[in-house]
Homo-oligomer: A and B are copies of this chain.
Amino acid sequence: PQAGDLDEKLIQDFMGQVESARIRENLRVLASRPHLATTPGDKALVQLLRQRWQDPQTGLDGVAEGTYDVFLSFPDPTHPNSVSICPPVLNGSRLFEARRSEKVLTPDQAQEDVVPPYAAYAPSGSPQGRLVYAHQGTRSDYETLVGLGLDLNGTIAIVRYGGAGRATKAVVGAEFGVAGLVVYTDPKDINDGRAGENDTYPNSWHLPPSGVERGSYTESFGDLLTPYYPAKEFTYRIKESEIQGIPPIPTQPIGFEDARTLICSLAGPEAPAAWQGALGCTYCIGPGFRMDGQFPSSSEVQVSVYNQRVIEKSANVMGFIRGSQEPDRYVLYGNHRDSWVHGAVDPGSGTAVMLEITRVLGKMLKEGTWRPRRSIIFGSWGAEEFGLIGSTEYTEEFSSKLQARSVAYINVDISVFANATLRGQGTPPAQSVIFTAAKQVPAPGSGTGSVYDNWRHHTNRSSPTYGVIPSLGSLGAGSDYASFIHYLGITSMDLAYTYDRSQTSARIYPAYHTAFDTFDYTDRFIDPGFTSHQAVARTAGNVLLRLADSLVLPLNVSDYGEALEGLYSVAAEGQVQADLAAHNISLAPLKAAINRFKAVATDFNQRLMKLKEESSPNPLEVRMVNDQIMLLERAFLDPRAFPSKYYYSHVLWTPRAAGVPTFPGLAEAHAARDWDAIRKHLSIATQAVESAASTLETPA
């Protein structure tokens, strides 16, 4: 190895020291009580993190707390939200009322501070109206109802999770005149159809009938009152009325047991086949209840919401390891700390892994056997569940130095959804380092292959460059990597163990965001033995060490060339290509830019190869190529590409509403059949690729 390069033996040492039993014990402590953002349980974990990272034997170099005054939404403890059926002649009584909290199935649900199910940021109010079933509450779902002759004005809609973002169901519903929204989880979507008590937790990993998915009902992320600026005391705040993308109508989630009572009583025509679910009846669309049903047909449903919007102080806990050679280069690793209830899986499984990684690294550090070449920053983010708030405010506060100094961001939120295979998401430069690490970690469970082999077995694609390889997913806005990649253009990745999709079609693990996401649930059903947790800790820690210690950054810029070709090929074929041709719009400049990028990246890698062969390369020369690698991702940012989408500046990975997997600006403009916008976005994409190519050329 070159002088000052990564020590492979150290990586093996690190992986050998990662203990599944310690991860399990971390999780037991982390999930011992509810820790909703800014509540006492959350504050206790702030102290736990601080203490772990300050431990004299296994702590880091330093710890800091970054606090922000963030806009949150909680139910009113004295006025419970409700979903109920009122009698045709109102007399204050109720014909039915949905549960206000989940059933106590293990002692956890009876603990203090279990927040009742609610839709965060939904406004207060008590609308009442005839019930309709609107499937997933997408625009096309509401349009279908209108097409079937329903007048949605003043109705209460019941919709199921999936298909559209939480807030969107309410935002779009309100456009159609819906006055109140009820949201539930269909057993078809979460339990592979199972709905009985015997089939569900605590008897299996499936969602019990009373379980309710809580969630933040927001279309954008970050503190809603301070877009682009950290929510400090001095920070200017927009008016609440200026917030975009939160429900305009009272909204409340319920369990599927109660949803069954509502949906199975509906009148009206049968819902389309695709709208049917696993509640054990034929779903009708309403409006109102059946003549022969449990409730008088003219009964109305009332949604009563008493949520309170407040500004609370939320903390990020940051842990630091100072780099020996390049202290001004940061490898970032983070996960949120807050949960909806106990959050054993979300985010405890990730935090338990992070704490085991920091324990092993801290030990090496305190023993004096290791100090990374670059600095490492660990983040325990606050208020993620309300919309990635802690991480977003952090990127806002330190945007300038983070953009200048950050090599990559590693996110491990839920570390284990299930035991089947690694799920890696990231931008193309992350692929090489994740693959290298995954090849060195034995897959958990039976068999002898590596995490990499197992991953390739489960989820693969055919790469023109490498043949059949695991398929690296792209990054949406599902966790705290969002502001790092989309706003700051820092190469980011997210790692977890996940499902065998041939075994389940569940939207997500069934206890997600419910009071059943507990240590017991994890210990018995998600990862008994914690070997998947261990595999994720080894893989993520391996990636972290490679990024921190390698003389030349282990991010392969050439892999961006293949990704660009992939995005391009979708535009250059089929309907998109035909439509472009019909409007005389040429893809040639974009193609030329991609070809240039590929050629320049190949040259760059050749120069790199030579540099790697030198026994003691010039430190400034190494720094130069590393800066080119590090800053490549930044060159794809264009803060003016998507002016209406907060934080989304990455020309390639901004989420597309449109289904066509090509350049997002092009995809959306094409879906809107806006030929002028297509021209504009092709120009934007071409310039981004040209700019990226120019950063990889010899600097002088």
Contact = CB atoms under 8 A, between A and B. Distances in A.
Interface residues of A, number: 54
Which 4 pairs from chain A and chain B are nearest by CB? A234-B589, A236-B683, A328-B699, A375-B700
Interface in A302-332: 320, 322-323, 325-328, 330
Contacts of A619: 619-620
A322 B700 contact: yes
Nearest to A628: B328
Contacts of A687: 229-230, 232, 234-235, 397
Given A397-B691, A619-B619, A700 B327 contact: yes
Contacts of A458: none
A699 B397 contact: no
Interface string A670-688: 0000000001101110110
A695 B401 CA distance: 6
A691 B236 contact: no
A416 B398 CA distance: 43
B235 A624 contact: no
Nearest to A631: B404
Interface string A616-629: 00011001100110
A93 interface: no
Contact of A627 (B233, B328, B398): B328
Nearest to A323: B700
A375 B590 CA distance: 30
Interface stretch (A108-116, A574-582, A598-606, A634-642): A634-642
Contact of A684 (B236, B397, B400): B236
Interface of A: 61, 228-230, 232-236, 320, 322-323, 325-328, 330, 375, 397-401, 404-405, 589-590, 619-620, 623-624, 627-628, 631, 634-635, 637, 639-640, 679-680, 682-684, 686-687, 690-692, 694-695, 698-700
A533 B326 CA distance: 44
7 contacts: A229-B684, A326-B620, A327-B624, A327-B700, A401-B691, A404-B634, A620-B620
A683 B229 contact: yes
Contacts of A236: 679-680, 682-684
Given A229-B687, A325-B620, A327-B698, 6 more contacts: A232-B589, A375-B699, A400-B634, A401-B631, A401-B635, A623-B623
Specify which of A328, A375, A640, A698 lies most central, judged by the most chain B CB atoms within 10 Å of its CB: A328
B327 A398 contact: no
A683 B639 contact: no
A328 B700 contact: yes
A404 B683 contact: no
Specify which of A398, A405, A699 lies most central, judged by the most chain B CB atoms within 10 Å of its CB: A699
Contacts of A695: 400-401, 404
B700 A627 contact: no
Nearest to A678: B236
A256 to B, nearest CB: 44
Nearest to A688: B400
